[in-house]
Structure 1
Amino acid sequence: MKQGLKITTIGGGSSYTPELIEGFIKYHHELPVREIWLVDVLEGKKKLEIVGNLARRMVKQAGVPIEIHLTLNRREALKDADFVTTQFRVGRLEARAKDEKIPLAHGVLGQETNGPGGLFKALRTIPVILEICREMKELCPKAWLINFTNPAGMITEAVLRYSPIKQVVGLCNVPIGMEMGVARLLDVDHERVRIHFAGLNHMVYGLDVFVDGISVKDQVIDLITNPKNTITMKNIHAMGWEPEFLRALNLLPCPYHNYYYKSGEMLAKELKNAKDGGTRAEIVKQLEEELFELYKDPDLAIKPPQLEQRGGAYYSEAAVRLIHSMYTDKRDIQAVNTRNNGAIASIPNESAVEVSCVITKEGPSPIVIGDLPVPVRGLVQQIKSFERVSIEAAVMGDYDTALLAMTINPLVPSDRVAKEILDEMLVAHKDYLPQFH
């Protein structure tokens, strides 16, 4: 009989991996992980070895019986896995920099998962995730896919619609980051805070906010009308909200809503940042170089605090908490990306949504909310249309469909601008878009 769990992490050479290892160490008394397989591509071999050696030191110092395996052979890593986590970036940070710079040159927001950048990240990533799913069906058919790769909502929906596996959960650190932010504002322990989430990945709203089961939404909204109390992430510059707007919205926006409700200001800020200090991708590249220098230190055997400067802080806490809850059938409530199944009335049942769910051994069970409030319903539906058309373009490799997706995104001003950006980005990312060439 198999002893313990096998975890496979695709994109194992990521700078986030030490956070994941820390999480498995923390929960080991209830989550009997025996093997963690870190897999990457040839270009990531050096980073994989650096991160893998740190992971081994962390496990040894913690005194837990987890074996760390490093490999470039994905099939070897997937065989008989219980959980597969994905955290890869097709084209690496160089591709992200193009996703940011090219739209900015056309006067359009350049961002990793929103607008043209989000479209092209999906176009590069979806064919790869579908290939991984086909291998999982063959090599580990009972495994759950826990996807952190962005754009997480589109990846989840692509797997649900076009792959042979249905055991998939998309994960984002935005909901847990928002809960942490509320906990800091109210000066309470994070465990006491719960936000009732509904929407889409990077387009999710807090419908209500609870501390010890009592609603504190009005208090939190009142607090965040003060620009000093913004709830944001390391990769998003928070502008602060107009108090009258927030009170009328009567919902807790997520940090990514800055791109939609403050498009002009965010574009101006991005253009200035790109000119003065570089795009976010260039800043992250420098951060990663510093992190990997730290990771090389043979005396380092913990996750360094500098990792929290990355936009994915709390990722491991979210990922390992989810796997732990599924394994133990804990039935706690977490916000994840999963099949809608009627949770949000105006979104198709088979689509992926980001919503608070009861986490069981059979997977997430979405909490039914009925419909989204009228003020946000249209924007969410527009982004869902963008996601659906983008996924179709990624799968079919169809130019016209990609142009349609780009044009219907609310951050792109016209079909002409969309075509200019599309043409330039198709050339820039040619090596990672075989379906279009």
Structure 2
Amino acid sequence: MTRTFATRDVDNAAEAMRAVFPATPLQLNEHLSGLYGAKVWLKREDLSPVRSYKIRGAFNFFRKAIAAGGSDHTFVCASAGNHAQGFAFVCRHFQVPGVVFMPVTTPQQKIDKTRMFGGEFITIRLFGDFFDQCYKAAQDHVAETGAIMVPPFDHPDIVEGQATVAAEIMEQLPDGTVPDLMILPVGGGGLSAGITGYLDGVVKREDFLFVEPAGAPSLKKSLEAGEIVTLPKVDNFVDGAAVARIGDLNFSMLKGFSDGQVMLLPENAICVTMTSMLNVEGVVLEPAGAMSIAALAQLGPEKLAGKTVVAVVSGGNFDFERLPDVKERAMRYAGVKKYFILRLAQRPGALRDFLNLLGPEDDISRFEYLKKSARNFGSILIGIETVKPENFDRLKANFDAAGMGYEDITDNEILANLII
């Protein structure tokens, strides 16, 4: 383990943070504990002042930069998400000027929230359609003005700040309790590098589990290769963890772990957890914030029973305009919603005959005439929701018995993106 900080420095950083916000709760979740036969503790970083752990690294960076004489400088960051909000909050706390560069395509809700946290101490500049263009503009601004860049994850002071999550966990667990499993979400790697560094020698190395979205496996691929791998593309759905390249410093701290300790989660599986936590617990989580809890379902009771598990819930900045998409993805992953293209005869009564094939728990959620594929037949896009996945076995059997041509396109990514 390459450690970039002393544990006493992390403890000092955690103490200093109490001037800004109290320790986030470590909660024993009764529902999840009962579900998996384990003691499941959730470290609720979604309950920080900016609803994510990012405030920690930003605070520690500013604290040290100001102590080193940086109070007469302007601070700069490039972000359209949690890093920007943590940065803005800390600018206002220390009453130092900050400039936040965001892509022009950033949702207005995120711009407004960042401005709310920073108030008069920040300026927001919109530049470029993509983050890389925005980040380059921020770098150019720093070069031209001598401002101080605050990176999102790849810096010793940022990592040290994120490590305060681990310091709080060990203070909050019952005396003498050491986790049997520590589940950490991974994006750029600052949080996981900080936590594993602080807990080195306390939690066994094999008892860490890192969780990445399947569409952005930067740590997994880098551990497999034994060196940092830059992904050619990422799926941005889990926007808080969709990173194409893990931080250099962070990888140096994590490279001793096995690639087998990295779980890749399908984006739609994360949506199941988001909807479940909202419906059952009333907890709003962003996709990245739900990853560590989603890992529990992948492990199952057989691997978790009897264990003390700590899952870090990294954030809860969720835009509810995304909720219909999250619900859709969750239902498709759970197998209770499917899309078919049907070849329906163009004759009186054909639609009634089709409806008679549906079961009492089947519901049509979408019906769209696509085109006539022949004079006597037409192609229909139909979405069907049901209660139990096995209902679709019966429905398909009914289709076959009726001689109805159909294609299940639910998991056909190209077709689904084009016409659903």
Query: Is the TM value for this pair above 0.5?
Result: no
Which structure has the larger Rg over C-alpha atoms? Answer: 2
Give the structure, 1 or 2, with the largest relative contact order (CA under 8 Å, sep 6 or more).
Answer: 1
Structure with the largest fraction of helix: 1
Scaled to the shorter chain, the TM-score interval is under 0.3
- Tell me the TM-score normalized by structure 2: 0.26
